[in-house]
Structure 1
Amino acid sequence: MEEFDFHASPKLPAAQIRDLAALRWLHAGESVILYGPVGVGKSHVAQALGHLAIRHGADVRFAKTSRVLADLAGGHADGTWGRRLRELAKPAVLILDDFGMRELTARQADDLYELISERAGHSLVLTSNRSPVDWYPLFPNPVVAESLLDRLINTSHQVFINGPSYRPNKRPRSVDSDRKEPTE
């Protein structure tokens, strides 16, 4: 959190982010949803919150949502799904990065439902390029979508992070661009 540039954009919700850094959400078993355009620092804030939680003694796991879904799918294939689900349910904080990137299969939606249900009372931190209201169409079964998203959205702190992408500032500079062209 110490490295986050709160001055990068006047649109950043600095007060909300600093409030999350107090970790009251963690102690209450609540979740955090960080959403907004690409490159604005959602993953950075999620990781920073995870680091703060670790400093306060919490067990934290960070993963891309697609990798968690692939891991659970592997559990269906080899009969270890229950064990894999319990492992994901253990940490005090589970950070799912890039949530809602694409439409889900029925199996993925069911797996997410089971994961969210299993983690009741434990904190989640989600990052997404989509607003939570735009997640519903990603689920093939509206009943599963409503049940899962009601549990998730209504028990979370939602923070819209907006502004320009940080990534152009991180672009490597070539040696040639540092040289001045000779003038005649």
Structure 2
Amino acid sequence: MLHQTIEKLHALKLSALADGLLAQMKQPDIEALTFEERLALLVDLQHTAAHNAALGQRLKASNLRQTACLEDLDLRTPRGLDRGLIQTLASGQWIRTARSVLLTGPTGVGKTFIACALGHQAARDGFSVLYRRLPRLLDDLAIARVEGRHRRAFAKLARTRLLILDDWAMIRLTAEQRRDLMEVIDDRHDRAATILASQIPVSSWFDQIGDATYADALLDRVVHNAYRIELRGESMRKRLTANSKEDTPTSTPAT
């Protein structure tokens, strides 16, 4: 009977519950627990397995550029990171209320890492996440339009609860790129959260968009009511490289 039960649990894709049941049967003191207690332990095992599997799928689909967690953020190095703001963003309420986060600063100060850490936390909280570099996204949308897939592409972006656009405003947009970007941002306005990461300061975004009407419309949607993180300081990559060199032992010349 136990063998048949295990087979049925696997057929129902309840493998964690099946494995837990087998493990329970091998425990000599398991009879000390009531049926309800044993069942609760098995349900917890299956629930944890399902949660971890769903998280793995969300992280895979997110295409995050870096493996980053908020717990790994360096808040000691002075670069404009506010501990209180990070704690606020870690709660995920800004995603539920469809707000934006603007990450700006020079190259190497950790914009992408912070964006991916926020994305990872969002995935842990059950939100769908997608990371894209804006230049590549605009190229892909142009191809999708030519191939007749643009409606599906825009719909996917609109459904994503957190969209991370890296390298924002790095290039001056063409007319077609402005149109596509406007559609993406307008679909998400007040409906889904967005992170914009850029080396270009917010004050220069208007010129990079290249058209006053589109610039006003885009910036009104992404800048209004957004959280801002303006990073400063030297490159974290250079700092890490320098520290690794200092930690490397030097060999003593042979005499």
The answer to whether the superposition gives a TM-score over 0.5 is: yes
Cα distance in 1 for residues equivalent to 2:254 and 2:82: 46
AA matched with 2:76: H
How far residue 15 of structure 1 moved from its aligned partner, in angstroms, is 2.5
Equivalent positions of 1:1-184 (< 5 A) are: 1-9=70-78, 11-120=80-189, 121-171=191-241, 178-180=249-251, 182=253
Among the aligned pairs, what percent are the same residue?
A: 34
How far residue 98 of structure 1 moved from its aligned partner, in angstroms, is 1.2
Cα distance in 2 for residues equivalent to 1:10 and 1:46: 15
Using a 3 Å threshold, how does the CA distance of structure 1 residues 183 and 167 change in structure 2: closer, same or farther? same
Using a 3 Å threshold, how does the CA distance of structure 1 residues 18 and 163 change in structure 2: closer, same or farther? farther
Cα distance in 2 for residues equivalent to 1:153 and 1:170: 32
AA matched with 1:26: I
How many residue pairs match? The answer is: 182
Cα distance in 2 for residues equivalent to 1:23 and 1:41: 20
Using a 3 Å threshold, how does the CA distance of structure 1 residues 10 and 87 change in structure 2: closer, same or farther? closer
1:29-74 CA-to-partner distances (Å, cap 9, x unmatched) read: 1111111111111111111111111111101111111111111011
Structure 2 residue runs without a partner (length 5+): 1-69
Deviates most, 51-60 or 161-170: 161-170
Question: Which 4+ stretches in 1 moved above 4 angstroms?
Answer: none
Q: Is residue 107–residue 199 contact of structure 2 (8 Å, CA) maintained in 1?
A: yes
Q: Is residue 13–residue 161 contact of structure 1 (8 Å, CA) maintained in 2?
A: no
Using a 3 Å threshold, how does the CA distance of structure 1 residues 11 and 50 change in structure 2: closer, same or farther? closer
Structure 1 residue runs without a partner (length 5+): none
How far residue 9 of structure 1 moved from its aligned partner, in angstroms, is 1.9
How far residue 124 of structure 1 moved from its aligned partner, in angstroms, is 0.3
Q: Is residue 108–residue 235 contact of structure 2 (8 Å, CA) maintained in 1?
A: yes
SS of 1:179's partner is coil
Q: Is residue 12–residue 163 contact of structure 1 (8 Å, CA) maintained in 2?
A: no
Cα distance in 2 for residues equivalent to 1:8 and 1:62: 26
Q: Is residue 131–residue 163 contact of structure 2 (8 Å, CA) maintained in 1?
A: yes
Structure (1 or 2) with the larger CA radius of gyration: 2
Q: Over aligned residue pairs, what C-alpha RMSD do you find?
A: 2.0
AA matched with 1:151: R
Q: Is residue 101–residue 129 contact of structure 1 (8 Å, CA) maintained in 2?
A: yes
Tell me the TM-score normalized by structure 2: 0.66
Cα distance in 1 for residues equivalent to 2:86 and 2:172: 29
SS of 2:233's partner is coil
AA matched with 1:166: M
Using a 3 Å threshold, how does the CA distance of structure 1 residues 80 and 11 change in structure 2: closer, same or farther? closer
Deviates most, 106-115 or 162-171: 162-171
Q: Which has the higher contact order (CA 8 A, sep 6+)?
A: 1
AA matched with 2:177: Q
Tell me the TM-score normalized by structure 1: 0.90
Structure with more helix by fraction: 2
